[in-house]
Amino acid sequence: MFMDRRYMQMALDLARRGLGRTSPNPAVGAVLVKDGRVVGRGYHARAGTPHAEIHALREAGAQARGSALYVTLEPCCHHGRTGPCTEAVIEAGVTRVVAAMTDPNPLVAGRGLERLRRAGIEVVAGVCEAEARRLNEVFIKYITTGLPFVVLKAAMSLDGRIATRTGHAQWITGPAARAAGHVLRDRYDAILAGVNTVLADDPSLTTRLADGRGRDPVRVILDSRARTPPGARVIKQQSSAPTLVAVTPDAPAERVAALKSAGAEVLMLPGDGGRVDLRTLLTELARRELTGVLVEGGGEVHASFLSAGLADKVVWFIAPLIIGGRQAPGPVGGDGPATLDGAVGLEQMTLTRYGEDYCLEGYVRRGEG
């Protein structure tokens, strides 16, 4: 069992190389072991390219016969963008398969492992499963619910302010925390902000990594009345990713036309109390195979996602600053609950340090708030 976990950790490390690049597919790593020696490695790099198992089998060549395959997700058994990995594993003569977890995709859901068993291959499942599920939390949410995985991200002071009373917010956190924020942008398919954030800060909402290789997420602006200036940076900058502006039928036609002329794609969506209906928006983003959404507020947008029960995870960067001020905004606005019974609970909390700042991460506890 120890060696199974050791080799699975290798496969998980390989899988992480594909994070942010495989959507709408999961990130998967694979390792082939024969006579106590690794003979093949692979990971899924992009949708439409060979899966992790195929890369590992190609590297191993003839040595794959009689080997054990360690893979972070059950091998697929259906024809999608590529052929079924189960048949390649069987044909290569692999005699043992260790999978971290079954595939939640209804097209697979245990059928891949059953196909391997029927071929006479020893199958073990559940090794490092919790870690594998965390690795592919975005894919799991998307494939099982038809909605993207939603992360609320904020940078705030120790006393819970995201800006001063005048709106000044650059920069609350230091360089290391801001760099970590750009790693998050690189890993999610879309980044979402409200029009008030655009009007106040004119952000670019792009990915800026130190090596210059970051991928820009699709920019999504919540803007029920099309108030985004056509010259805003989210629209006019050079980027390989498009900008989507979500409006309601109440948006003036001339503003909508101006945004389209400036290069934005306008999504006309149903309204909910004068605001864009968030569930409809998320359904549309999932239809476009945008599986993960990083929400960078502000506070009213965060409150809307929490009150609608549509947030999955919270990532809060906290700086050793005390800003103060009754009018200084916080990371979550809205009316808030009348009693603590209505507060949103978090679980599986982790704490990471970035320079002088800290990052708290937690998952929204379902059935509360």
Q: What is the pLDDT of residues 272-310, one digit of tens each?
A: 888 999 999 999 999 999 999 999 988 999 999 999 999
pLDDT in tens, 56-75: 999 999 999 999 999 999 99
Look up residue 227 and give its two tokens.
């108030």
Q: Is 216 annotated as a binding residue?
A: no
**pLDDT at residue 169, rounded to an integer:** 86
Supply the DSSP symbol for 62: G
Q: Is 301 annotated as a binding residue?
A: yes
Domain boundaries, the chain: 1-139, 147-364
Would you say 86 and 77 are in contact if contact means Cβ atoms under 8 Å apart?
yes
| 53, 87, 131, 137: the active-site residue | 53
Establish how many alpha carbons lie within 13 A of residue 31's alpha carbon, considering only the half-sphere containing its beta carbon: 22
Domain spanning 147-364: CATH superfamily: Dihydrofolate Reductase, subunit A (3.40.430.10)
Would you say 230 and 258 are in contact if contact means Cβ atoms under 8 Å apart?
yes
User: Architecture of 1-139 per CATH?
Assistant: 3-Layer(aba) Sandwich (3.40)
**pLDDT at residue 76, rounded to an integer:** 87
- Integer Cα distance of 147 and 24 in angstroms: 12
- Integer Cα distance of 79 and 46 in angstroms: 16
Report the sign of the C-alpha dihedral through residues 120, 125, 127, 128, in that order: positive
**pLDDT at residue 82, rounded to an integer:** 65
- Integer Cα distance of 24 and 22 in angstroms: 6
Q: Is 151 annotated as a binding residue?
A: no
Q: Is 241 annotated as a binding residue?
A: no
**pLDDT at residue 170, rounded to an integer:** 84
Q: Are strands 346-354 and 275-276 parallel, antiparallel or unpaired?
A: unpaired
**pLDDT at residue 368, rounded to an integer:** 42
Strands (DSSP E) found in 196-312: 218-222, 243-247, 265-268, 271-272, 275-276, 292-295
How many beta carbons lie within 10 A of that of residue 124, not counting itself? 16
- Integer Cα distance of 294 and 174 in angstroms: 20
Q: Is 299 annotated as a binding residue?
A: yes
Q: Is 51 annotated as a binding residue?
A: yes
Residues of the chain with pLDDT under 50: 368-369
Which amino acid is it at 248?
T
- 53 flagged as catalytic: yes
pTM of the predicted structure, to 2 decimals: 0.92
292: β partners: 149
Would you say 176 and 354 are in contact if contact means Cβ atoms under 8 Å apart?
yes
Q: Is 77 annotated as a binding residue?
A: no
Supply the DSSP symbol for 114: H
How many beta carbons lie within 10 A of that of residue 335, not counting itself? 7
Would you say 94 and 32 are in contact if contact means Cβ atoms under 8 Å apart?
yes
